[in-house]
Chains A and B, each alone.
Chain A
Amino acid sequence: MSGTADLSTSWTFDEWFVVALARTIQDREVVFHGFGSPCAQVAMHVARRTHAPNMLLIEGAMYAVNPDPPFIPPTSNDASLKRGAAYSMRFEEFFDAACRGDVDRMFLSGGQIDRYGNTNVTAVGPLEKPKVKLGGGGGGCNISATIGSLTLWTTRHRSGRTLVESCDFITDIGHVTPAGDREVLGYTGGGPQWLVSELGIFDYDESGIMRLRQLWPDVTVDDVLAATGFGLVVADDVGSVDPPTSEELRAVREVDPLGVRRSEFDPAELDRSFSVSA
């Protein structure tokens, strides 16, 4: 990298995580993130400033199209998030586009995620008397069926409680549910394509099952297996996540001066820092 060695020689895990999410976006895609998702939100702006300048970025709870916010605030529907947008969709305009298949990618997370990428953001424990009532799914139980591809993410893989054998409640659709797969259900969306966690990067095999593809350099395959509540498929050629470029790091720091992305992580994860010798 040229001229910015100070930027590219050291970085923190939260910065790298956001860069990894950004890389799941392809140029010219129509992309959306849900509310309360600062990592995904920052990642979308990073992608648009780096490798995906022609994406259509739809801002989570403002429905602003291609805004250039002066900073990312800690709430998803602050007016700062429509700065620079020539147009903001109405609520129904966005959801109609998502339901008819005009949105290419959405970011989704969950308190529980199973091997097929079904997610639970409703309640942990029995529904009648939940152990933890989570916030709820927003629009996910419909639009996860029809959006082109899903990028899942979690910053709580290590807890052992997130990647589970089966979700206590399925809020959003993965590849296969107890009621059948996407073909049986008549769903046109492609389902989960990637899952990025603080332990590694995963894709989904031809059976729709989560598969380890890349590790962060301070994580081992055994770490991942120990934290995962189901028998994990491991790719033959598990690699290491490519370090962020200076361009990517600069974009993260410019997009998110308040560091809202950090609110998603356990404090111990924020201590992970990396460097390359200059």
Chain B
Amino acid sequence: MFVDSDKRMSLADAAALVHDGDVVALGGGLSARLPMALVRELVRQGRRDLHVVGSAHSIDVDMLIGAGAVSVCEESYVGFEQDLGLAPAYRRAAEEGTIRVKESCCVTILTQLRAASMGVPFLPVRGIKGTDVPRLHSEYAEMTCPFTGDVLVVVPPLRPDVALLHAPMGDARGNLVMEQPYVLDEHFAQASRSVIATVDRLVDTDDVAGFGVTIPGHFVRAIVEVPFGAHPASSYPGYAYDRRHMDTYVKAARTPEGMGGYLQEWVLSGDESEYRVRVGEESLDRLTSWTESDDAWKELFA
């Protein structure tokens, strides 16, 4: 556990705690609370051979793959839902065989994280038998239950080297305040060897205690304040997701050249403060306007 009282550091120093080849859990999911500032910084630092794990994700995983940072992808889903469709870089890498696809399942990942949290060598799941999923996972086994005689698939613990989490608020100790859905973040925090967190806003401990701590600081190794650190994902109650930017990304990422152009323009050309300038104050303000009225909120997605 991480007992220091002040874990604040720069984004570059925090991202440097992730090493080539690490098993990396990405927090949040789909379009919410993705640790995008850390993702962009890992791309800037040229990280390689990451083994990413998680539930249903989108631009975070796709961008890391498009930047050549990933060798194994063990997510339950990577894509942009019906709205923007398949994940371009993930799809290209999987079809060309440049990454190893170990597609998993939300329940299986949860179970494996629970095994790691509990310190036991395996846990059973009820499903999987009859599907082709075991073809992607030679580490799964079957076992006869000593009590019922049922044959169940059993899965080993999943202990990520590091979990990258984003929260709207946190303190210097690393206590994090989140809104639901927490997705797997609490389980990642318990099961991983360390947590690196970004927050839109650093506040006093009294404030996080007042709101209610979702993930306690003793799981967190480093914390960095990065305003709009989840952009273009949402980080409620602060800001909604930036559908226009997601669309820009998806269109660019459809070719290797477009992917390279996107990374050059939005990621490699500057740090996070320059990223926010490039996105523009007007666009960022727009994403916070969801609080004004239901119509204003709806307009963000029209």
A11 to B298, CA, bound (A): 24
A178 to B110, CA, bound (A): 27
Which B residue sits closest to A171, measured CB to CB? B131
Contact between B181 and A171, CB atoms less than 8 A apart: no
> Residues of A contacting B302 with CB < 8 Å?
258
Contact between A180 and B130, CB atoms less than 8 A apart: yes
Q: In residues 121-140 of chain B, which contact A (Cβ within 8 Å)?
A: 125-133, 135-136
Interface extent on B, as a size class? 35 or more
Contact between B103 and A137, CB atoms less than 8 A apart: yes
The 0/1 profile, CB within 8 Å of A marked 1, for residues 97-114 of chain B is: 100010101111010000
A36 to B107, CA, bound (A): 18
| B60 close to A (CB within 8 Å) | no
| A37 close to B (CB within 8 Å) | yes
| A145 close to B (CB within 8 Å) | yes
Contact between B127 and A144, CB atoms less than 8 A apart: yes
Residues of A contacting B: mostly: loop
Across the interface, A137 reaches (CB within 8 A) one of B77, B83, B101, B110, namely: B77
Contact between A146 and B91, CB atoms less than 8 A apart: no
Across the interface, B181 reaches (CB within 8 A) one of A63, A136, A187, A258, namely: A63
| A231 close to B (CB within 8 Å) | no
> Residues of A contacting B180 with CB < 8 Å?
62-64, 82, 88, 90
| A226 close to B (CB within 8 Å) | no
Residues of B contacting A: mostly: mixed
- Minimum CB–CB distance from A21 to chain B (whole Å) comes to 14
> Residues of A contacting B76 with CB < 8 Å?
136-139
Q: Which of A129, A133, A134 has the most CB of B within 10 A?
A: A133
The 0/1 profile, CB within 8 Å of A marked 1, for residues 259-302 of chain B is: 00000000000000000000000000000001000100110011
Which of A73-81, A234-242, A269-277 sits within the interface?
A73-81
Contact between A99 and B94, CB atoms less than 8 A apart: no
Contact between B32 and A143, CB atoms less than 8 A apart: no
Contact between A129 and B55, CB atoms less than 8 A apart: no
Q: In residues 130-189 of chain A, which contact B (Cβ within 8 Å)?
A: 130-146, 169-173, 177-180, 185-187
Contact between B31 and A77, CB atoms less than 8 A apart: yes
Contact between A35 and B77, CB atoms less than 8 A apart: yes
> Residues of A contacting B301 with CB < 8 Å?
71, 73-75, 78, 258
Contact between B32 and A77, CB atoms less than 8 A apart: yes
| B30 close to A (CB within 8 Å) | yes
| B257 close to A (CB within 8 Å) | no
Contact between A138 and B183, CB atoms less than 8 A apart: no
> Residues of B contacting A180 with CB < 8 Å?
130
Contact between B82 and A263, CB atoms less than 8 A apart: yes
Which of B39-47, B223-231, B235-243 sits within the interface?
B235-243
- Minimum CB–CB distance from B151 to chain A (whole Å) comes to 7
Across the interface, B126 reaches (CB within 8 A) one of A38, A123, A140, A146, namely: A146
14 new A-B contacts, CB < 8 A, other than A133-B94, A137-B77, A142-B125, are: A36-B82, A61-B30, A63-B180, A76-B30, A91-B110, A135-B86, A138-B56, A141-B107, A141-B127, A145-B130, A146-B126, A169-B135, A171-B131, A187-B130
Smallest CB-CB A-B distances: 4 pairs:
A142-B127, A135-B79, A36-B81, A139-B106
